[in-house]
A = this chain, B = another copy of it.
Amino acid sequence: MNNKAVVLLSGGLDSATTLYFAKSKGFVCHCLIFDYNQRHRREIKSAMAVAKKAKCPYSLVKIALPWKGSALLDSKISLPKNQSLTRGGVPSTYVPARNIIFLSFAASYAEAIGARDVFIGANAVDYSGYPDCRPEFIKSYQTMLGKGLKTGVDKKSIRLQTPLIRLTKAQIVTLAKSLKVPLELTWSCYQGGNKPCGVCDSCRFRAKGFEEAKMKDAAL
């Protein structure tokens, strides 16, 4: 059995939980971490710390996007805060094609090292409304990989694994606890500070998850 897997690791709650989930299922995980000049560069440090703690090798891919078009790439654009978390619509923190780009590197990495599975912590329940986190996106990406990759031609198509996609944040927090994810090492805040801001979407979804799971956030 080929139990080699690539895991997209941002350093946040969801991707760290995804890594520990994949490990718990017996996968030998190779993490992929991105430096894309995100305003919350702090998460890269967290991602590397989580990978080390999990004793998994990682590759750091640097991407210099010559364009912006997102509050996560342009510190002049203010982050949404204190708005309804269920407001609908795509927020200013949307980065054009971010998961499309991340998954394209993951597919390349997986083929290069001979891994069959790619894990991504996409979540479509308590989330910011990014189109590239929805099940229908993942499904169509999977289909596309089957057409565009050598492994697709060879009928050994890469499988996208999204264990969190239909979980609430509270369920993710509970799962993380049961998997002994080092939550104190994770970083979710979109701001670039030393401490989580507590008011951006990402901080508030995280807080909501811990509150509903009746747990204290070890990272605070």
Report if A65 contacts B (CB, 8 A).
yes
Collect the chain B residues with CB atoms within 8 Å of residue A113's CB: 67, 69
Q: How far is the CA of A132 from the CA of B63 in the complex (A)?
A: 22
User: Count the A residues whose beta carbon is within 8 Å of the partner chain — how many?
Assistant: 48
In the bound complex, do residue B94 and residue A100 qualify as a contact, i.e. CB atoms below 8 Å apart? no
* Contact across chains for B67 and A109 when beta carbons are under 8 A apart: yes
Chain A 92-118, CB within 8 Å of chain B: the 1/0 string? Answer: 001111111101110111111100000
A95 to B140 Cα, complex, angstroms = 22
User: How far, in Å, is A24 (CB) from chain B's closest CB?
Assistant: 26
Question: Chain B nearest CB: distance from A87 CB in Å?
Answer: 14
Contact with B along A65-78 (1 / 0, CB 8 A): 11111000000000
Q: Which residues of B contact A136 (CB under 8 A)?
A: 147
Q: Are A148 and B112 touching (Cβ within 8 A)?
A: no
Is A90 at the interface (CB under 8 A from chain B)?
yes
Contact string against B for A residues 38-66, beta-carbon threshold 8 Å, 1 for contact and 0 otherwise: 00000000000000000000011111111
A: which residues have CB within 8 A of B? 59-69, 90, 94-101, 103-105, 107-113, 131-132, 134, 136-137, 139-141, 143-150, 152-153
